[in-house]
Amino acid sequence: MRLKEPTPKKTPAGPHYVRDPITSGSHFVLRGDSRKLHFRKQFDLVLTSPPFFHPSRRDPRHGYTPSTRNVLEYSAYVAAVLARAAKTLGSNGFLCVLKTDLWFQGKHIPIAYPIVEECCRHNVNLISHWIWQRRAHFSPYSPAFTHILLLSPKSGRRPSVPDVIYQPNATLHFQEPQIFATLIRLLTEEGATILDPFVGTGAVVEAAENTGRLAVGIEISDTQFRLAQRRLQEVANVVFGELDDCQRSVK
């Protein structure tokens, strides 16, 4: 059964609302649909964890998810957003995507690889593949390993970090936003700009703040957007607004 797609509600822009997020020196969390995003080439990293997928389970805590049955349809949805996000990357930019596969009826259902295959159709290719071993295994339907996919719209480019990151046992368990902060430090310099097209409750924005980078996050679900507002209430330089308003000036 297909979930009804939420229509983001309009809110008036706040007093410090600036149209071009990155030049403003603030983080931005924008309500809207990332399938329509079209910022100019200004980001150093796209860092994101795509929506939840399960063949039969709907869980509103995970925000909006495009399809609850068909992994190929789901992958095409995610890859379309990632391909659009890739167009916002500057010349040295990468996409870094975190995705956990699924346990379903005793079987391991791959979800990360179908996303990679769909990305290839958009000429966004896998350049590195890391594994994040999550020690605290809290979910009955996801394995304890998360794929960390490094993708690039340019072939033959690899980040200058090793394929296998060794971390002693004591540090293997990261909670968001710590895993995002680790990846931000590995993949970008201080002051870099980061885009999260599936920002959810805003962990990537929090990680960007904690590591001295600037982030723009986009979220389609009103509920998740409100959770991001709550999570980021202590962060001084974050602006909440509408994707449509923000993009009008950069068409």
Ligand X SMILES: C[S@@+](CC[C@H](N)C(=O)[O-])C[C@H]1O[C@@H](n2cnc3c(N)ncnc32)[C@H](O)[C@@H]1O
Which residues of the chain form contacts with ligand X (CB under 6 A)? 33-35, 49, 51-52, 62-64, 81, 176, 197-198, 200-203, 218-221, 224
Q: Which residue, 58 or 158, has its beta carbon nearer to ligand X? A: 58
Q: Which residue, 65 or 188, has its beta carbon nearer to ligand X? A: 65
Across 90-116, b (16+ Cβ under 10 Å) vs e yields eeebbbbbbbbbbeeeeeebebbbbbb
Q: Which residue, 157 or 222, has its beta carbon nearer to ligand X? A: 222
Integer Cα distance of 220 and 223 in angstroms: 9
Integer Cα distance of 111 and 53 in angstroms: 8
Q: Which residue, 9 or 168, has its beta carbon nearer to ligand X? A: 9
Minimum distance from residue 108 beta carbon to ligand X (Å):
19
Joined together, the tokens standing for residue 224 give 């998740």
Integer Cα distance of 94 and 5 in angstroms: 29
- CB-nearest residue to ligand X: 63
Q: Which residue, 160 or 230, has its beta carbon nearer to ligand X? A: 230
Minimum distance from residue 78 beta carbon to ligand X (Å):
8
Do residues 20 and 236 lie in contact, with contact meaning Cβ atoms separated by under 8 Å? no
Dihedrals phi, psi of 200, to nearest 5 degrees: 55, -125
Q: How many residues does the chain have?
A: 251
Joined together, the tokens standing for residue 20 give 């071009």
Minimum distance from residue 225 beta carbon to ligand X (Å):
8
Integer Cα distance of 41 and 30 in angstroms: 18
Integer Cα distance of 43 and 86 in angstroms: 9
Q: Which residue, 188 or 224, has its beta carbon nearer to ligand X? A: 224
> Which runs of consecutive H residues, i.e. helices, occur in 128-240?
178-187, 203-210, 222-231
Q: Which residue, 176 or 244, has its beta carbon nearer to ligand X? A: 176
